Homo-oligomer: A and B are copies of this chain.
């Protein structure tokens, strides 16, 4: 089973205060870039793998989705997501993506935000997602960028000019990475970009767009702290099509 750090009280308390949890999609700087990659959601049956508090599910319904199933490993997240909507076309379920099976050809769009880097067996997940989608459907997801995740000690250094610089090591050594984020020993799985792309391609997905998120000049003007995201990508955004 996937580590469920979200139901750890310390983690949940800190995580719930993140701007993207307090303000929803608008609190996530990568959201405009994700939105630009989304297909038209009108009439679509959607699965959201790692739905958290359900921000995307509600947004999708406001933008014409026929139905949304939100899945999350965290009971606390699912409970809060359920409490935040009375929409009968949204259904939230506690589910472990490592073993989840979805009914075949039941969805017209699959979405996932910042979840798959917690999943050990990405190949299995991609094959399951492919089976669950109707032909022509899109699969849009974001993950932590492997540049961000690879190193043993992922934190800023200064180079000889004093420029913020990110360390990369162990890039080709895929597998477990442990970091401290609200709590100790959060378990993630590092994969190269090649592995992620090739898993999609081998399963029958066509790669439609790949974005290594960087903030726009306007975003940096509004929030100068985002400038460091130009130095190294923290997130990888992908669109694939069955």
Interface residues of A (CB under 8 A from B): 147, 150-153, 157, 159-161, 163-173, 192-194, 197-198, 201, 206-212, 214, 229-233
With A and B bound together, what is the CA distance between A44 and B163 in angstroms?
49
Chain B residue contacts of A163, Cβ below 8 A:
152, 169-170
Chain B residue contacts of A161, Cβ below 8 A:
152-153
- Per assembly, the copies of the chain total 2
Chain B residue contacts of A214, Cβ below 8 A:
171-172
- Evaluate whether A210 and B231 lie within 8 angstroms (CB atoms) in the complex, with A163-B152, A169-B165 already known: no
Contact status B212-A172, CB under 8 Å: yes
- Of all A-B residue pairs in the complex, the 4 with the closest CB atoms, nearest first, are A172-B214, A172-B230, A169-B231, A165-B169
With A and B bound together, what is the CA distance between A150 and B166 in angstroms?
11
Chain B residue contacts of A207, Cβ below 8 A:
197, 201, 206-207
A sample of 11 inter-chain contacts (CB < 8 A) reads: A147-B171, A157-B167, A159-B167, A163-B169, A168-B168, A171-B232, A192-B233, A193-B193, A194-B210, A194-B212, A198-B209
Chain B residue contacts of A165, Cβ below 8 A:
151, 167-169
Chain B residue contacts of A201, Cβ below 8 A:
207-209
Contact status B198-A168, CB under 8 Å: no
With A and B bound together, what is the CA distance between A232 and B163 in angstroms?
20
Contact status B159-A151, CB under 8 Å: yes
- Evaluate whether A172 and B233 lie within 8 angstroms (CB atoms) in the complex, with A152-B159, A159-B152, A166-B167 already known: yes
Contact status B210-A170, CB under 8 Å: no
Contact status B232-A168, CB under 8 Å: yes
Query: A170's contact among B147, B160, B172, B230, by CB below 8 Å, is which?
Result: B230
Contact status A193-B210, CB under 8 Å: yes
Chain B residue contacts of A169, Cβ below 8 A:
159, 163-166, 231-232
How far is the CB of A162 from the nearest CB of chain B, in Å? 11
Contact status A198-B210, CB under 8 Å: yes
Query: A233's contact among B152, B171, B197, B206, by CB below 8 Å, is which?
Result: B171
How far is the CB of A197 from the nearest CB of chain B, in Å? 5
